[in-house]
Amino acid sequence: MIPGMASKSVILADTSILIGLQRGDPKIIPQFDKIADSIHISRISTCELIYGSRDKKEKNINKTFLSNFPIIEINEDISQYSYILLDKYGLKNRFGIADSLLAGTAIINDLAFWTGNTKHFRVIKELTFYKS
């Protein structure tokens, strides 16, 4: 894979994008409307949204919202590559396990990665970012 060039038209949206969609972020909504059919999410993002729910009502809203997206499950390849990313970049940059699993999901599946936090992920040279 060549960094910066995703070979597939599928885009992995991270949790920051999902939260932006829920909040009606004017920077995210118009772009999302153009590419909605290409968006997939990681099981990690579903876990983060459910974990971050403040109460049962919000959790049910999040579950309904998440049901609108194809979910990419974490498999052995993603898990192993996540470890490689943590070993290679984690100590110096202090990104966490969830972030390494998100990045690993995008890299292993050759997907463009859409995040509202490129600063956090930019150290990962193998990652291809979706540019809105």
pLDDT per position as a tens digit, 68-84: 999 999 999 999 999 99
Which residues of the chain form beta strands (DSSP E)? 11-13, 39-42, 71-72, 112-114
- Which residues constitute the domain of residue 114? 11-121
- The predicted-structure confidence for 68-127, as pLDDT tens digits, reads as follows 999 999 999 999 999 999 999 988 877 889 999 999 999 999 999 999 988 889 899 999
Q: Find the CATH number of the domain harbouring 112.
A: 3.40.50.1010
| HSE (side-chain half, CA atoms, 13 Å) at 19 | 13
| Within a domain: 2 | no
| Within a domain: 112 | yes
Its pTM surpasses 0.85: yes
Buried/exposed code over 48-71 (b: 16+ C-beta within 10 A; e: otherwise): bbeeeeeeeeeeeebeeebeebee
Count of domains for the chain: 1
| Within a domain: 130 | no
Which residues of 2-132 form beta strands (DSSP E)? 11-13, 39-42, 71-72, 112-114
